[in-house]
Amino acid sequence: MRRSGIAAACLLASVTGAVLLAPGCRDIGPQTGSETNFLTSCDAGCGDGLSCICGVCTRVCSAADECAALATGAACVAVAERPAEAACAAADGAAFCDLSCGDDAGCAPLGASFRCQGGFCRERDDGDAAACPATTLAIGDNDRTVTVGDTTRSYVVRLPASTTGSSPMPLVLDFHTFGGTSAAEAEASGYRELAEREGLIVAWPQGVDGAWNIGPCCTASRDVDDVGFARALVAQVQAEACVDGKRVYAVGVANGGGMAYHLACNAADVFAGVAPGAFDLLAASEQPCQPSRPVTTISFRGTADVLVPYEGGPQQAPNGADITLLGAVGTFERWAELNRCTGAPSPADGDGCSTYSRCAGGVEVTLCTEQGGGMAWGSPEIGWATLKRHSLP
């Protein structure tokens, strides 16, 4: 057996001259097997000719044809193009073989155990392959309740017609606006239709007195535990249907959009990404936001929104609290900061969407602006096209 030969991209020199592994890289010892474990984790060792780079078995390369034998479509990717690996693969100019994708189907050449994560194929972990629980929910809408503390909360959850009970499906929580209802949100947001087209489970939670508690805004009582409600809802649906636990997302409009942001701040261990509409983050002193990991966000805002002004600033919340909104651009920049994004965002595309794509963990931060638009739910198709590229690590 020969040593793995950790790639130069993973090696750092200490002040004493000793060779150290960069964070996230592991010396796996002897290699075994063949090259069939390309892009699997290094825990069980890497195949002949592969190295452990940032915890994944792959090959250092300098040209695309060096990757062709590993998998159809594999390319030689410079570390500079993969900011998520930059801290680990620290050598300037280092490159390694990777397989880009737009969705899970793009990872098919590697086998059924791979998913599309952050635009690149990665192996599912053992938890993903666990047997699904027996599905006790019906196809279509299900009225459900869950207890949070001493409070009974309600929601509607929909299983699409494509449900098999054996294939894990993404779960989306869709939060209504202030004064709204789960039923009204289900009719208005477009996620009911998207669920059928894309094979999603969608849940529409009901706020206490039609509001969501995101700090000083917007419930009458500051004691309502809506983060706990969201966590309990997800856990209950996971126990009653075949949910892909790494692909849980939150969307919403106005106060519901604020709730989606609030979950990104306070439950990033559960939610892989959020797509809020018509709301912003509050000032840090009013709504501290320290997500436990980088999290993808795509927001939708109209420049003529009279309820939540695009520019932000001091406002009075529906519950009478004085709040300060960061504004659409301010929120965009704040998420770029929280997610440690580098470089400039892309110019706005034909849908008015601008994106920071070089962010920690491979996440994205996007702002979609509708010129002259009012309160914007945004496009479920555009939102989902971004969210589905990302899953929990």
Question: Where does the pLDDT of residue 292 fall: very low under 50, low under 70, confident under 90, or very high at 90 and above?
Answer: very high
Other CB atoms within 10 Å distance of the CB of residue 106 = 18
Helix or strand run (H / E) with residue 367: strand 365-370
Half-sphere exposure for 219 (CA within 13 Å, toward CB) = 18
Residue 88 pLDDT greater than 60, yes or no: no
Angle between the N-to-C axes of helices 226-240 and 255-266, in degrees from 0 to 180, rounded to the nearest 10: 80
Cis peptide before 132 (omega within 30 of 0): no
Q: Which CATH class is domain 140-387?
A: alpha beta
d(CA 383, CA 325): 22
Query: Which residues is 154 bridged to in the sheet?
Result: 145
pLDDT tens profile 98-114 = 887 776 667 776 766 67
Q: What is the mean pLDDT of residues 299-325?
A: 96
DSSP 60-121: B-SSGGGTTTTSTT-EEEEGGG-HHHHTTS-STT-EEEE-B-SSGGGGGGG-TTEEEETTEE
List where CATH 3.40.50.1820 sits in the chain: 140-387
Q: What pTM was computed for the model?
A: 0.73
Q: Give the position of tokens 């509050």.
A: 282
d(CA 229, CA 215): 15
d(CA 281, CA 268): 15
Question: Where does the pLDDT of residue 138 fall: very low under 50, low under 70, confident under 90, or very high at 90 and above?
Answer: very high
Predicted local confidence at residue 65, as pLDDT: 77
The single-letter code of the amino acid at 196 is E
d(CA 388, CA 339): 18
SS3 state at 244 = strand
pLDDT tens profile 36-48 = 467 776 656 677 7
